[in-house]
Amino acid sequence: MSHLRVLICRVEDETEEMTELASVDLATVPARWADAPLDTLEARVATAGQHLLGCLCELAWDEVDAEAVARYCAAAAPGSVWGDGYETLTVASRFGTLHLRRQVVAHRDDQPHVMPGNDVLPTHHGLLITRGLQETGEAGLLSASTLRTLVRDHGGRIRRLEQTEAVVLLHQHTSGPRAPLASLRHLGPEVAPGQMLLVLDEVLTPAAGQDTRHELRTACLLTAQTRRYLSGRGLPFLRQVHAAVATCADQSLLVVADGAAWIRTFYRDCLAPLPVPTELLLDWHHLAQKCRDHARRICPDQAHRALLLRRLLRWLWVGNVPRAVRVLARVRPQAADPQAVDDLSAYVKDDYDTLTRVPRGGSPPSDTRRRATPPSGPPPRPASRCAPRYPGSGR
C-alpha cells in the first residue's frame, strides 16, 4: 500500500540543499463506483490543498518574524536583549485557522518584553482576521457579529481616508500645483480587463401639469479602458443602451440599478440573453429606502415601525423574500394603511429573482445605508467586498 504526500522544503539558494519543513498526506480513494470516487477525490484534494496553503503561510510567517526580530536586536545594544520563547497568535484566514509563532524578546534592564513581529501585523486584539477573509466573507467562517464589525470598521476607514484626502487636496489647491485627476485615490474594486459595468438610473423632475413628471434616464458604461455616458427617454434610450452594451461587452457584464420595474424588464429582455455572463446588482440603499417609506404609512408608531423594519430587512438581506412577505402579511390586519402593505409586498415579489440568487451573511445595516459600498454605520457587502452580485443569464 502507498499514498501521496506533499512535502514543503526549504531550499538553499547556493547549494540547492533541501530541508523538509512539513508534509501533507492525501488519503487514498477507493475505486468503487458506489463511492463516487471523483467527487470524494475532489473534496479530499481541496481539503489537503487548504491545509497545505495554511502550512505555507505559517512557515513563511516564521521567516518574516525572524527577520523582524533580527532587525530589532541589531538596533539594540549588544547583549542587552535575548529571546525568551514564543507566543502564538491565532489567525482566521481563507485557508482556515493559522497559528503564527512570534518571538518574545526580553531586556536586561527590566524593560517590558516585546514581540517585534507585531510591528508588521495589523492592529489586533486577540483573534486576527486576514484581509483576504474579510473581503471574501465566506459563509460559515465568520459569525454575523464579526461580519457587522468588519464592515463597520471598513466603512469607517474609508470615511477617514476620504477626509484625509480632501484636506490634502484643499491644501494643495491653495499652496501648490494642481494634482492630475489620475492621482486621486480609487475606492472599491477596479473594472478588470474584459469586464463591463453598467449603471442605470432615472431622474424625475416636476412638470407643469398636476401629478406629471419629466423623465430622464441615464446610463454609465465603464470598462477597464474608458467610460461613456448616455441619457434619454423611453424606448429610444433603451435601444441606444442595448446597442452600446451588445457591441462593446466582451467577457462579462455587471448591471447596478435600483428596483425600478423598467430596469428589471430591460435587463431580463435585452441584457440577460447576451452571449456573455451577466449579473444584476440590486442597490440596497433603494430597497431599504422603499421599505422605510412604506413602513411610515404602515406603522405610524416609531417603536412598532422599528420592529417591523428590523424583521423585514433581516429577511430581505439574506434574500428570503417569502419570509419577508409573511412578515408583511402578519402586520396587515393592524396596519394603518393596508394598501401600503400590498404595494410593498408586490415590490419585493417583483425583485424576487435578484434578491434570492446569492447567500449573504450577517445582518442588514441598522441605518440601512447603501449596499453597493460598505456603510459606515452598523452593517453586515460586504464589504467590502465589494458589492453582492446576482447571476443573470447564468452563461
Other beta carbons less than 10 A from residue 190's beta carbon: 9
Give residue 383's pLDDT. Answer: 31
Strand ranges in the chain using DSSP code E only, listed in sequence order: 4-11, 18-26, 81-93, 96-107, 128-129, 195-206, 213-222, 227-232, 252-257, 278-282
Q: Angle 56-57-61 (CA atoms, 0-180°, nearest 5)?
A: 115
d(CA 58, CA 315): 39
Give residue 179's pLDDT. Answer: 62
Checking DSSP bridges between strand 81-93 and strand 96-107, what pairing results, if any?
Answer: antiparallel
Could you read off the pLDDT tens digit of each residue along the chain, which spans 395 residues? 778 888 889 898 888 899 988 888 887 777 665 566 787 888 888 888 888 888 999 999 999 999 999 999 998 888 888 888 999 999 888 888 899 999 999 988 888 899 999 888 888 777 888 888 877 766 566 777 777 777 778 778 877 877 777 777 677 666 666 666 666 666 556 788 889 999 999 888 877 777 778 888 999 999 888 888 988 888 889 988 999 898 888 889 999 888 788 898 899 899 999 989 998 887 778 888 889 999 999 999 888 899 999 999 888 887 788 899 999 999 999 999 999 999 899 888 876 655 544 444 455 554 433 333 333 333 333 332 333 333 343 33
Residue 341: Cβ-neighbour burial (10 angstroms; 0-12, 13-18, 19+): buried
**Residues of each domain in the chain carrying CATH 3.30.720:** 195-276
d(CA 385, CA 147): 11
The candidate with the shortest Cα–Cα distance to 197, out of 376, 394, 386, 384, is 386
Q: Contact at 8 Å (CB) between 308 and 326?
A: no
Contacts of residues 182-190 at CB distance under 8 Å and 24 or more positions apart, as own/partner, are 185/161, 187/158, 187/161, 187/162, 187/373, 188/373, 188/384, 188/386, 189/386, 190/224
Give residue 204's pLDDT. Answer: 83
Give residue 281's pLDDT. Answer: 81
φ, ψ dihedrals at 312, nearest 5°? -65, -50
Give residue 380's pLDDT. Answer: 35
The candidate with the shortest Cα–Cα distance to 5, out of 29, 20, 19, 23, is 23
The candidate with the shortest Cα–Cα distance to 72, out of 106, 122, 110, 99, is 106
CATH T-level assignment (fold) for domain 195-276: 3.30.720
DSSP 140-164: TTS-HHHHHHHHHHHHHHHHHHHHH
Q: How far apart are the first and last CA of the chain?
A: 44
| Number of helical H runs and strand E runs in the chain | 10, 10
Other beta carbons less than 10 A from residue 155's beta carbon: 22
d(CA 370, CA 289): 9
Give residue 354's pLDDT. Answer: 57
d(CA 11, CA 200): 54
Task: Please state the pTM of the whole predicted model.
Answer: 0.48
Q: Which residue has the cell 514564543?
A: 86
